[in-house]
Amino acid sequence: MVAVTYGALILFPGFSVALWLNGQRRVALAVLAGMVTSLAVTLAFQLIALRPRPEDVRLVIPQPAFPSYPSGHTAMAFAVAMVLSLTHRRWGVWPITFSAALVIALSRVYLGLHYPSDIFGGAVVGVGAGAACYGMMTADCPHWRWLL
């Protein structure tokens, strides 16, 4: 689970680089924008909620100094999963991407860094940020619809 939680931080930008090199520049920018947007919204919610991290749990890695709610790793994972799922609808990508995002989210609970409600909040933030960034950067319909 430690490899999953740290590997995700390397894998997320790797997706956008791979898409950029593959010629899908708008999708690569949407993935990067989804990651940045989800992290910005997550940090804003964390500073508003100020929820402490779980105590009296077995810690494998040190706890971050940020508050707990919502999970930033989960928000980024679900933002990337949402952009990739909306981009590659025909190929059945969504079960793979959302399963990977769920494993990343569960690794945060397993490591004792988040409560289950933290990963649920992060998933909601990530799906919203991913859909909005996909719509604003890649969709062919009016962009304002994706913000609703």
**Domain count of the fold of the chain:** 1
* Per-residue pLDDT tens over the stretch 43-75: 998 889 888 888 877 777 777 778 888 888 899
The residues, any chain, with a CB within 8 Å of residue 56's CB and separated by 6 or more, are none
Helix-, strand-, coil-residue percentages of the chain, each rounded to 5: 70, 0, 30
pLDDT digits (tens, 9 = 90+) for 74-131: 999 999 999 888 888 777 788 888 888 999 898 888 888 888 899 999 999 999 999 8
Residues 6+ apart with CB under 8 A from 3: none
- Give the domain extent around 14: 2-147
Position 142 confidence tier, pLDDT thresholds 50, 70, 90: low
The candidate with the shortest Cα–Cα distance to 18, out of 64, 87, 116, 68, is 87
The model's pTM: 0.85
